[in-house]
Structure 1
C-alpha cells in the first residue's frame, strides 16, 4: 500500500531532522556539470561525499574506510545503470501539495516534502507580497526552520518592491517603494535568512535598496520591473546578482529599447532564472536563453500551492487562483499566478523535448543555482559545497531513471528522503 501524503511529510521531516547515513552506490551513470561517467560509484559519510571513482577495488576500499562491507547487499546500493546526479537546488518556489511557504511551519513542511520527493534537496523558500508585518512573521518562520533541517536555504522575498505595471499576480495594495527604513525592518525580522530579494530597480529607492541589501549579505535580483537597459545595468553594478525569471514580468527584448534582459545577459556576474515549463517560457525562448548565457541559466519552478496537485481552485496569498491543465491564473484578471512545475520535470523537458545535453540540463538545476549564493564553495549555511558529485561536496544525491528522468531515490546531506 502506498503512503499517504501525511505519512510522507512526517517521514521527510523526521529524516531531515535526523543524522546523516553512510552511503555507498555503485554501477551508476553519473551526470553532473563536470560531465558523464559510466560505471560510477560514490561513498559518503557525515553528510559529505568521501570518494568517487570507477575502479571496483577502489570502491571496496572506499566502503571499508567508512565502515561498510562492500559485499553487503543491504548496505551497498547497485544503481544497475541508472543515473546518479547531484540533488536539485530550487532558488525560486512558493509551495506545493496545496500549501505555500507563507503558510506557517506546517505549510513549510508539507510544501517542502512535495518538492523533496521529486529530487529538490535544497530550496530557497519564496514568500509573496503581503503587508510588511505579515512578511516579517513569515521570515521568522523560515529562520526557525533553517535551524531545524538542512534542506531549507533561506527565504526569497518576491515583493513588496515590485513595479506596479509588472506586478503579475502580486497584490497591488501591498507594493512599496524600498525606503531604507523598510529595508532595515525586513533585515531585522529575517535575522540573516534572506538569501534573495526581487526589486524593480527603477523604483525611487530601487538602486539604494539594492546596495543596502547587498551590503547585508543578501543577493538582490532584478525582476518584476519595467526598467530600461541603463537602469538595469545600474542595478547589477549596485550589487544585484540574479535576474528573476527572465522573460516573465518584465519588458521584453526590443531592438531600440533593449530593456533589462541584455543587461543581465552581458554581465557574467548575473545568474539568470528561467521557468522551463513550456508555458511561462515557450521552448524556442528556453533554447535562446541557454544560448544567451551558457552556464548561467538556473532552472527555477516559481511553483505555487497547486504543484503536484489536481486542477482546481487554489489560493496565492489572499488571491483566488484557478488551475486548468496545470496552468495557474488569477480568477480576478487572468494573470499567470506562478507555475505547477517541479525541477524534476524541468530537467526532463530540457533533455527529452528541447535537446539540451543532460550535462547542461543538470547543471541548470544544481551547480548554477548553488553558485548564485556562493554555495558551490564551503560556506556558513550549507557547510559543504553543493552542485557536484565530488569528494568534499554535500551528499545530496539522486538516483534517476535514465529514460524518464523520474527520481527514484533521494538523499539530502546524507539523509534519506525517498
Structure 2
C-alpha cells in the first residue's frame, strides 16, 4: 500500500468531471493525482475499455454474502463487509433492525468495537422507534416510542459510533428524540412512518435530513394527505434514499424522483440482507424468518419485503441503464451527465450525508477507494484504502 501506483482507464469519473481517458495516482492509501489523457508515468494497471468510479458508499445495509450485520457478531460483520467490498462498496454503514432494549444495547456495544476497527463507517439504528403500521420487516413486538433514557444510554455506549437513526416522527416523544440526536451529531432519517405531511415537515424543521427508502414502509402520497413522500421530496435539505433494485420501486418512479429532486439529493442504498449474493432459500433478518424466491426477500410470516439481495454495483448499472433508456439518442456510450449522476447517487451524496470529506470522489487528498467497471459496468477491480 505504500508504493506509488497509477491506474488508467478509458473513462474516469473524477470530482465533478469525466475524463476520457483518465488516470488516478495512489500513494500510502490516498489519491495523489488525477488527470485526463495518458498518465504521467507508466501505469501499474490499464483498463482500456474500463470506467473508474469512486468506491461505492452504502449507508443502509443489513448484510450480504450469507452473513448479517444485525446481531453485531464480529465474524459475520467482517464477512458481510468483505462481500460488499468485493462488489465495489468500500464504505459501509452497518444497519440494525428493531430489537428489545437489552438486546439492542448489546448489539450497539459489539458494533461499536467494529466501527473502531474500521470495519464499518458507523451504525445506523433502523428502529425500534418506528410505526407498527409501517414496520415492514421489523418485529412488531419490540417496537416502542423513543425515551430519553434509552437514547442517552445508547449514545453513551456507542461513543460516536452511531451515525444515523431512522424513526417515525408521529410517535410520542419523537420530536424531542430528533432534537437529542441532532445535538449529538447523529443524522436523523424519517422512515417506517405513518406520519402526516405536517408532522414530517416539523421533523425536518428540527433537523431530520434523510428519507429512509422513500415510499417504502411509509404512508403513501394522497391528494388530501400528501404524507411523508411529498414533505421529504420538496425540502432541498433532505436526501432521499432509493432502493432501485426493480423490486422496491418501479423503475419509472425511480427516474421520476431523480428528475424531481435532482441527482444531488438521491442516495442509492441496497437495504441488503444476508441473502445478497446467495441462492434462494431460508434466511433470518434479526428475529424474523425470511424466505427468498427469485432473488426477492420476504418475511415468511407476512410476505412483507425484507430488505433486498442487491449490491451497489448492481444498483449503479441498473440506474445507468434506466437513465440511458430515458435519454433518446444516447446509445453509443454512457453520457457524462449520466455517469456523474450515478456517481453522485452511489458515492458523493451518501458520503456527504455521513459527513465524510475523505471519500465519495476521486480527487487528490481523498482516500484511495475506487472501483473499475468494464464496458458492461461489471466490477473488474476494487482498490480500497482500508
Task: Answer yes or no: same fold by TM over 0.5.
Answer: yes
> Are 2:166 and 1:198 equivalent residues in the alignment?
yes
Q: Answer yes or no: is the 8 Å Cα contact 2:70–2:285 preserved in 1.
A: no
> Are 2:377 and 1:408 equivalent residues in the alignment?
no
Q: Which residue of the partner structure matches residue 363 of structure 1?
A: 344
- Give the Cα separation in 1 of the matches to 2:9 and 2:301: 53
Q: Which residue of the partner structure matches residue 334 of structure 2?
A: none
Output the aligned Cα RMSD: 1.5
Q: Which residue of the partner structure matches residue 335 of structure 2?
A: none
Match of 1:102 among 51, 61, 70: 70
- Give the Cα separation in 2 of the matches to 1:249 and 1:232: 14
Q: Answer yes or no: is the 8 Å Cα contact 1:42–1:59 preserved in 2.
A: no
- Give the Cα separation in 2 of the matches to 1:261 and 1:21: 48
Q: Answer yes or no: is the 8 Å Cα contact 1:30–1:84 preserved in 2.
A: yes
Q: Which residue of the partner structure matches residue 10 of structure 1?
A: none
Match of 2:195 among 227, 243, 256: 227
Q: Answer yes or no: is the 8 Å Cα contact 2:267–2:349 preserved in 1.
A: yes
Residue 27 of structure 1 and its aligned partner are, at CA, apart by: 3.6
Task: Give the secondary structure class of the aligned counterpart of 1:102.
Answer: coil
Residue 21 of structure 1 and its aligned partner are, at CA, apart by: 5.3
The total of aligned residue pairs comes to: 372
Q: Answer yes or no: is the 8 Å Cα contact 1:328–1:340 preserved in 2.
A: yes
- Give the Cα separation in 2 of the matches to 1:401 and 1:193: 35
| 1:94-129 per-position Cα deviation (integer Å, ceiling 9, x unaligned) | 001221102400110111111110000001100111
Q: Which residue of the partner structure matches residue 85 of structure 1?
A: 53
Match of 1:318 among 261, 280, 287: 287
How do 1:182-331 and structure 2 match up within 5 A?
A: 182-294=150-262, 295-331=264-300
For residues 325 and 21 of structure 1, do their structure 2 counterparts lie closer, same or farther at Cα, with a shift above 3 Å needed? farther
TM-score normalized by the length of structure 1: 0.86
Q: Which residue of the partner structure matches residue 26 of structure 1?
A: 8
- Give the Cα separation in 1 of the matches to 2:10 and 2:159: 41
After superposing on structure 2, the runs of 4+ consecutive aligned residues of structure 1 that deviate more than 3 Å are 19-22
Greater mean alpha carbon deviation, residues 182-191 or residues 308-317: 182-191
Q: Which residue of the partner structure matches residue 388 of structure 1?
A: 361
Q: Which residue of the partner structure matches residue 15 of structure 1?
A: none
- Give the Cα separation in 1 of the matches to 2:96 and 2:80: 13
Q: Answer yes or no: is the 8 Å Cα contact 1:146–1:154 preserved in 2.
A: yes
